[in-house]
């Protein structure tokens, strides 16, 4: 069992920045890629970014490219999502999830583990 805990959310003005963290504990995280998704009220959970186990491969949703950066520190069992130039439309609950390496990380149904989420609110 892998337990994921997100942190770093909060309220920020448009144009501001936040860094989210996803801390993994429990069984080995090795072999898992990590994805960030977000869910706004009344909408489905959507893909934001993902990174493979080594950190050598990443992918971003078009809506966040150039503004968000995903990274990981395996010595700390932590994946980060640096969010810059935030917009009101980025407001959502952000979730991190773990998906087996080699499985498509775009589809939330492939994820084996999820955190509880952290709220990000961007005011205009």
Asked if pLDDT for residue 107 goes beyond 90, the answer is yes
Helix (H, G, I), strand (E, B) or coil at 105: coil
Q: Are 9 and 19 in contact (CB under 8 A)?
A: no
- For 32-67, write each residue's pLDDT tens digit: 999 999 999 999 999 999 999 888 899 999 999 999
Residue 1: pLDDT band with limits 50, 70, 90? confident
124 Cβ contact partners less than 8 Å away, ≥ 6 residues apart: 14, 88
What backbone torsions phi and psi does residue 36 show, to the nearest 5 degrees? Answer: -110, 130
d(CA 12, CA 114): 25
């Amino acid at each position: 069992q892998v337990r994921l805990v997100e942190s770093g959310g909060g309220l920020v003005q448009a144009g501001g920045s936040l860094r989210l963290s996803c801390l993994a504990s429990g069984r080995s995280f090795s072999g898992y890629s990590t994805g960030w998704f977000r869910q706004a009220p009344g909408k489905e959970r959507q893909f934001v970014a993902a990174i493979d186990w080594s950190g050598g491969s990443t992918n971003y949703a078009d809506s966040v490219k150039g503004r968000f950066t995903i990274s990981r520190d395996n010595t700390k069992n932590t994946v980060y999502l640096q969010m810059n130039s935030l917009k009101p439309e980025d407001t959502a609950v952000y979730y991190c999830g773990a998906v087996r390496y080699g499985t498509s990380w775009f589809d939330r149904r492939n994820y084996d583990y999820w955190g509880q989420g952290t709220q990000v609110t961007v005011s205009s």
